[in-house]
């Protein structure tokens, strides 16, 4: 059982560069979401999706884009990286919004 797979595990970007964080789940979950984790701030919701073709903004969406073309995949795009986006990013999935969420192992991103 792969569960939720995030790639890459680590990434260093220069300011202004773009990149995509990948997230895939094999549990046929409808609900997927992206969070960032910063010290002392817990997890903050960036974007979420309730199913293929449907996405919405979370608490801190600025600077990030998402798409959901399939049930399995939910990539997160940084359009022009900024040092403020240095964080650990987690993808999660669940059968529906209020169900138990399964988290990936995270991507540690540093923007210099």
- In the complex, the residues that contact other proteins under the rule CB under 8 A are 4, 33, 35, 40-45, 48, 58-59, 90, 92, 97-98, 100-106
Nearer to other proteins among residue 28 and residue 42 (C-beta): 42
The closest alpha carbon to 104, from 8, 39, 13, belongs to 8
8 Å CB contact between 93 and 6: no
Q: Which is nearer to other proteins, 28 or 39 (CB)?
A: 39
CB-based contacts of 85, cutoff 8 Å, min separation 6? 36, 63, 78, 109, 111
What is the closest distance, in whole angstroms, from the C-beta atom of residue 78 to other proteins in the complex? 20
Nearer to other proteins, 11 or 17 (CB): 11
Q: Which is nearer to other proteins, 17 or 103 (CB)?
A: 103
* Shortest Å distance, C-beta 49 to other proteins: 12
Please, what is the minimum distance in Å from the beta carbon of residue 39 to other proteins? Answer: 9
Cβ proximity of 74 and 52 under 8 Å: no
Name the percent of the chain in helix, strand, coil, to the closest 5. Answer: 5, 55, 45
């Amino acid at each position: 059982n792969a569960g939720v797979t995030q790639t890459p595990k680590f990434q260093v970007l220069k300011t202004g560069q773009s990149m995509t964080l990948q997230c895939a789940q094999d549990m046929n979950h409808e609900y997927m979401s992206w969070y960032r984790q910063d010290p002392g701030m817990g997890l903050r919701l960036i974007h979420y999706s309730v199913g293929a073709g449907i996405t919405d903004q979370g608490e801190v969406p600025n600077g990030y884009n998402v798409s959901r073309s399939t049930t399995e995949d939910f990539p997160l795009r940084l359009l022009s990286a900024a040092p403020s986006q240095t964080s650990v990013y987690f993808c999660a999935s669940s059968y529906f919004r209020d169900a138990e969420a399964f988290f990936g192992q995270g991507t540690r991103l540093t923007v210099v």
